[in-house]
């Protein structure tokens, strides 16, 4: 691919160089195709018009091993005389986000080829080479974390030849993922002055995106827009939780101006505006949402407005963290493909949107970054380490993305080939745990290992509320969590092996041994909510009834409130509802006191928070350090609403919703629930209404399915059905 083109670097110092090629075309031109990529992110225009809607192309992959190339039909943009101009910013390639993966001494680069097809059959090729010019662009600075500075009046009047740069091409691959594109637009809901005297615009919704600025500016105007997610207790602009990310838009302009950043993105609800000439006209500012293309598939609403707001927050959390890679957050100096967060949320993500292509590309990077030992980096693309011959240690529940993500994609989309592609990765991850433990059939002793590069140890029940003072890690035992996930991942390898008709007898034996060892080590001694949850949800406890009763007791003793972190929370409601306590699961869902999902809603959240008390009732913050207000992990609760409250699940024997189970579990406190899901086979609907002590169910299935109402199993052909049932009694 692109074998005749040369990687080009700028011939003069430039933060975001513009590469220029003028060319003429003969009148018999019938088609023109641009094949292009950059080491960095590019904005390509022909005669001033964008060649694509793809924002921040070529996207983010594990560039050492996989670097996407795009192809665009640009025929409609051509004239007799043409100018192709490509501005390249550092992006994920060598901006600050690239950390140690930042290729030292490699500047931003462009690689392209333009093919001009003529009516007489001959094809002209324009390759990137020393005939191209390079210039400084009006973009004076661009960085994913720091933002973008643009001088709209800047013109480089002295372009110089671009320089060929020696950089490999063997890692080039065709575009695999979804394109990142500009989405809906929002206007400020208010512009106000804070007590500290700052002028602030509030868009009413936390988003991930950019801002368009339109004004007629006096000469030498310099406007700065800085991002924030929340205001502090006094109503002042608050940026400490962005840590080192400046997240700023700086615009130098004179005269009529319409500008928006082209080489970075932001996570924000509020903007602090400085340097604006006169008072700020709300019409002058437009927030533009940015995320990867994905079709909405799942919808959910119920009779409790606050829960509907929570569901919306989950959707916004997904949009905001689906910028080519499933990220932890879109605003502070992370925005990384944290594997733990991804495996926690993938089930919910697959219900809400069609994410198959999005995750397939990311799993390609996970596979590329997995070590020969089987270790899986904590973030994919792995920016914490250098090339993959560097030994790393993996954290439990993070590395398990290697098994959980392919398995969830298989459940949701039924693609056996995709599962086969990742089967080796899944097995290697389990083998890694087998090889690294100090106790056979458990995963122990990790902390004592000395070959650490980045991760000191397991992250544990990250941000669990039972954390000791000053710690981010909940008090569930790390060896127990690690051993539970060892069992779970082994179980997933077995299930995948069965689907693929592979011999997994060794893993079946391993699994039995892990369960036996787990019981010998821990059964009957679960100490935290999360420990109970894992023992129940991963089917490890020998006495589910007693373990469920223990979990229920802990929750009730805590005033019907949770203490779980990243590891326990995703399975908490399942562990309750699958083991006889659905009413308690609903109580947690409906809980409004801290800690709870609705606490953040009552605090005005418009996305899902990283921490249960990101902002406390008095407006103070739990920490400036680990306090994102757009972290999708706890949004995984929406998966439970699809799968348990509405009861829609794919059947494992016919995955991808070729056969569906619908087992709704109503609760009168919601009044009604209306959930729908677009599948490859048609729309599934599960609705229930609690009316006068009875429940009316309206269920539509697009394929032959199993519907279970009040414990009664019905095999039904595709169609719409109404059933009546009784309101379940609280235990
Ligand atoms: C991230 C998390 C991530 C964690 C690992 C944090 O800084 O934001 O979401 O999973 O580190 O413990």
pLDDT tens digits, one per residue of 397-437: 999 999 999 999 999 999 999 999 999 999 999 999 999 99
Average pLDDT value for residue range 552-577: 98
Tokens for 201? 């615009």
CA–CA distance, 587 with 77 (Å, rounded to integer)? 58
Residue ID of nearest Cα to ligand 1 atom 12: 459
pLDDT tens, position by position, 584-614 = 999 999 999 999 999 999 999 999 999 999 9
Asked about 545 being catalytic, the answer comes back as: no
Least confident window among 132-136, 525-529, 612-616 = 612-616
Q: Work out the mean pLDDT of the chain and round it to a whole number.
A: 95
Q: State if residue 341 touches ligand 1 by the CB under 6 angstroms criterion.
A: yes
pLDDT at 457 over 80: no
Q: Give the H/E segment covering residue 656.
A: none
Give whole-number Cα distances, 406 to 297, 500, 502, 533, in Å: 19, 13, 16, 23
- Partner residues linked to 694 by β-bridges: 691, 726
Q: Exposure pattern of 211-230 as b/e (b: 16+ CB <10 Å)?
A: bbbebebeeebebbbbbbbb
CA–CA distance, 99 with 109 (Å, rounded to integer)? 18
- Partner residues linked to 686 by β-bridges: 675, 699
174 exposure class (CB count in 10 Å sphere: 0-12, 13-18, 19+): exposed
Residue ID of nearest Cα to ligand 1 atom 9: 328
Contacts of 225 (CB under 8 A, 6+ apart): 211, 213, 248, 249, 250, 251, 271, 272, 273
pLDDT band at 104 (very low <50, low <70, confident <90, very high): confident
Phi-psi domain of 254 (left: phi exceeds 0; alpha: psi -120 through 50; beta: other): beta
pLDDT at 449 over 70: no
Instruction: Look at strands 172-174 and 67-73 and give their pairing.
Output: parallel
Q: State if residue 328 touches ligand 1 by the CB under 6 angstroms criterion.
A: yes
Give whole-number Cα distances, 226 to 210, 242, 249, 395, in Å: 11, 11, 6, 35
Average pLDDT value for residue range 643-668: 97
pLDDT at 730 over 70: no
Distance 724 CA to ligand 1 centre (A): 45
CA–CA distance, 298 with 560 (Å, rounded to integer)? 29
Q: State if residue 340 touches ligand 1 by the CB under 6 angstroms criterion.
A: yes
pLDDT tens, position by position, 243-292 = 999 999 999 999 999 999 999 999 999 999 999 999 999 999 999 999 99
Distance 330 CA to ligand 1 centre (A): 12
Q: State if residue 334 touches ligand 1 by the CB under 6 angstroms criterion.
A: yes
CA–CA distance, 425 with 362 (Å, rounded to integer)? 13
Backbone angles phi, psi at 695, to 5 degrees: -120, 125
pLDDT band at 537 (very low <50, low <70, confident <90, very high): very high
The pLDDT score that the predictor gives to residue 254 is 97
Q: Which atom of ligand 1 is nearest to the CA of 459?
A: 12
Give whole-number Cα distances, 355 to 379, 455, 559, in Å: 19, 29, 37
Q: For ligand 1, pick from 328, 333, 481, 569 the residue to mutate: most ligand atoms within 8 Å of CB.
A: 328
The pLDDT score that the predictor gives to residue 729 is 76
Instruction: Look at strands 322-323 and 325-326 and give their pairing.
Output: antiparallel
pLDDT band at 441 (very low <50, low <70, confident <90, very high): very high
Residue ID of nearest Cα to ligand 1 atom 8: 328
Q: Give the H/E segment covering residue 555.
A: helix 544-557
User: In this structure, what is the dihedral angle of CA atoms 399, 402, 408, 414, given to the nearest 10 degrees?
Assistant: 180
**Segments in 339-447 forming alpha helices (H):** 339-352, 356-369, 401-413, 416-436
Distance 715 CA to ligand 1 centre (A): 44
Q: State if residue 85 touches ligand 1 by the CB under 6 angstroms criterion.
A: no
The pLDDT score that the predictor gives to residue 387 is 82
Give whole-number Cα distances, 193 to 196, 202, 230, 251, 275, in Å: 8, 11, 15, 21, 14
Give the number of residues written for the chain. Answer: 731
Among candidate residues 282, 413, 396, the one with its CA nearest the CA of residue 360 = 413
Distance 338 CA to ligand 1 centre (A): 7
Q: For ligand 1, pick from 325, 338, 569 the residue to mutate: most ligand atoms within 8 Å of CB.
A: 338
- The catalytic position among 148, 229, 250, 334 is 334
Distance 285 CA to ligand 1 centre (A): 32
Handedness of CA 585, 566, 371, 382 (dihedral sign): positive
Least confident window among 184-198, 457-471, 519-533 = 457-471
Among candidate residues 369, 359, 481, the one with its CA nearest the CA of residue 411 = 359
Phi-psi domain of 201 (left: phi exceeds 0; alpha: psi -120 through 50; beta: other): beta
Asked about 610 being catalytic, the answer comes back as: yes
The pLDDT score that the predictor gives to residue 58 is 98
pLDDT band at 480 (very low <50, low <70, confident <90, very high): very high
Q: State if residue 229 touches ligand 1 by the CB under 6 angstroms criterion.
A: no
Are residues 78 and 46 in contact, defined by beta-carbon separation less than 8 angstroms?
Answer: yes
Instruction: Determine what percent of the chain is predicted with pLDDT higher than 70.
Output: 98
Contacts of 121 (CB under 8 A, 6+ apart): none
The pLDDT score that the predictor gives to residue 447 is 56
pLDDT at 321 over 80: yes
Distance 286 CA to ligand 1 centre (A): 31
Contacts of 134 (CB under 8 A, 6+ apart): 8, 9, 10, 11, 12, 14, 17, 18, 19, 20, 159, 160, 161, 162, 163
CA–CA distance, 350 with 706 (Å, rounded to integer)? 21
Average pLDDT value for residue range 307-319: 98
pLDDT at 518 over 50: yes
The pLDDT score that the predictor gives to residue 455 is 45
Tally Cβ neighbours within 10 Å of residue 710: 12
pLDDT tens, position by position, 207-224 = 999 999 999 999 999 999
Q: Which atom of ligand 1 is nearest to the CA of 328?
A: 9
pLDDT band at 19 (very low <50, low <70, confident <90, very high): very high
pLDDT band at 388 (very low <50, low <70, confident <90, very high): confident
pLDDT at 454 over 50: no
CA–CA distance, 225 with 201 (Å, rounded to integer)? 10
Average pLDDT value for residue range 46-53: 98
pLDDT band at 731 (very low <50, low <70, confident <90, very high): low
Among candidate residues 53, 94, 90, the one with its CA nearest the CA of residue 72 = 53
Which residue do the tokens 């949107």 mark? Answer: 353
């Amino acid at each position: 691919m692109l074998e005749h083109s040369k990687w080009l670097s700028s011939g003069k110092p430039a933060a975001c160089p513009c590469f220029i090629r003028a060319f003429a075309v003969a009148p018999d031109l019938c088609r023109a195709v641009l094949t292009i990529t950059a080491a960095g992110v590019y904005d390509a225009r022909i005669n001033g018009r964008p060649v694509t809607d793809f924002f921040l192309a070529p996207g983010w992959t594990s560039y050492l091993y996989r670097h996407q190339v795009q192809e665009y039909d640009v025929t409609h943009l051509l004239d007799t005389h043409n100018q192709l101009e490509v501005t390249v910013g550092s992006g994920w390639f060598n901006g600050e986000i690239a950390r140690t993966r930042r290729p030292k001494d490699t500047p931003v680069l462009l690689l392209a080829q333009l093919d001009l097809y003529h009516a007489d059959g001959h094809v002209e090729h324009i390759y990137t080479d020393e005939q191209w010019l390079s210039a400084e662009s009006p973009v004076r600075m661009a960085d994913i974390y720091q933002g973008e500075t643009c001088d709209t009046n800047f013109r480089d009047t002295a372009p110089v030849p671009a320089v060929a740069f020696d950089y490999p091409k063997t890692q080039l691959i065709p575009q695999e993922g979804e394109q990142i594109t500009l989405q809906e637009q929002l206007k400020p809901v208010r512009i106000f002055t804070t007590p500290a005297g700052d002028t602030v615009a509030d868009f009413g919704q936390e988003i991930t995106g950019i801002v368009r600025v339109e004004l007629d500016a006096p000469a030498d105007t310099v406007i700065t827009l800085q991002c924030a997610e929340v205001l502090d207790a006094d109503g002042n602009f608050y940026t400490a939780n962005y840590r080192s990310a400046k997240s700023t838009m700086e615009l130098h302009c004179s005269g009529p101006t319409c500008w928006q950043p082209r080489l970075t993105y932001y996570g924000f609800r509020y903007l602090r505006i400085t340097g604006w000439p006169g008072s700020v006209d709300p019409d002058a500012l437009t927030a533009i949402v940015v995320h990867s293309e994905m079709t909405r598939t799942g919808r959910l609403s119920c009779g409790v407005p606050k829960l509907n707001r929570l569901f919306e927050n989950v959707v916004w959390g997904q949009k905001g963290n689906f910028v080519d890679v499933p990220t932890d957050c879109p605003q502070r100096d992370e925005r990384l493909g944290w594997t733990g967060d991804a495996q926690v949320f993938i089930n919910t993500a697959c219900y809400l949107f069609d994410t198959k292509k999005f995750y397939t590309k990311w799993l390609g990077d996970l596979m590329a970054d997995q070590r020969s030992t089987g270790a899986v980096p904590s973030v994919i693309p792995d920016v914490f380490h250098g090339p993959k011959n560097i030994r790393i240690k993996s954290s439990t529940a993070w590395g398990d993305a290697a098994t959980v993500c392919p398995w969830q994609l298989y459940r949701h989309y039924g693609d056996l080939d995709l599962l086969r592609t990742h089967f080796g990765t899944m097995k290697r991850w389990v083998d890694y745990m087998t090889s690294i433990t100090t106790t056979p059939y458990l995963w122990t002793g990790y902390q004592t290992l000395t070959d650490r590069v980045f991760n000191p140890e397991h992250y544990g029940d990250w941000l669990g509320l039972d954390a000791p003072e000053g710690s981010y890690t909940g008090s569930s035992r790390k060896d127990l969590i690690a051993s539970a996930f060892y069992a779970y991942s082994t179980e997933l390898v077995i299930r995948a092996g069965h689907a693929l008709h592979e011999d997994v007898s060794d893993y079946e034996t391993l699994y039995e041994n892990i369960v036996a060892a787990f019981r010998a080590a821990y059964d009957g001694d679960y100490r935290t909510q999360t420990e109970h949850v894992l023992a129940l949800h991963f089917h490890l406890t020998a006495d589910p009834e007693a373990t469920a009763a223990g979990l229920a007791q802990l929750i009730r003793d805590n005033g019907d409130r949770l203490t779980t972190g990243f590891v326990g929370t995703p399975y908490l409601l399942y562990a309750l509802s699958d083991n006889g306590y659905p009413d308690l699961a609903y109580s947690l869902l409906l809980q409004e006191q801290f800690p709870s999902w609705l606490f953040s809603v009552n605090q005005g959240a418009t996305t899902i928070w990283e921490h249960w008390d990101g902002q406390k009732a008095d407006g103070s913050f739990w920490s400036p350090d680990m306090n994102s207000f757009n972290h999708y992990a706890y949004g995984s609760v929406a998966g439970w609403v699809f799968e348990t409250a509405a009861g829609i699940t794919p059947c494992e024997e016919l995955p991808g919703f070729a056969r569906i189970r619908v087992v709704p579990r109503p609760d009168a406190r919601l009044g009604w629930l209306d959930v729908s899901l677009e599948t490859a086979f048609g729309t599934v609907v599960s609705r229930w209404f609690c009316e006068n002590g009875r429940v009316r169910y309206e269920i539509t299935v697009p394929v032959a399915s199993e519907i279970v109402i009040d414990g009664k199993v019905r095999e039904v052909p595709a169609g719409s059905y109404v059933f009546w049932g009784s309101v379940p009694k609280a235990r």
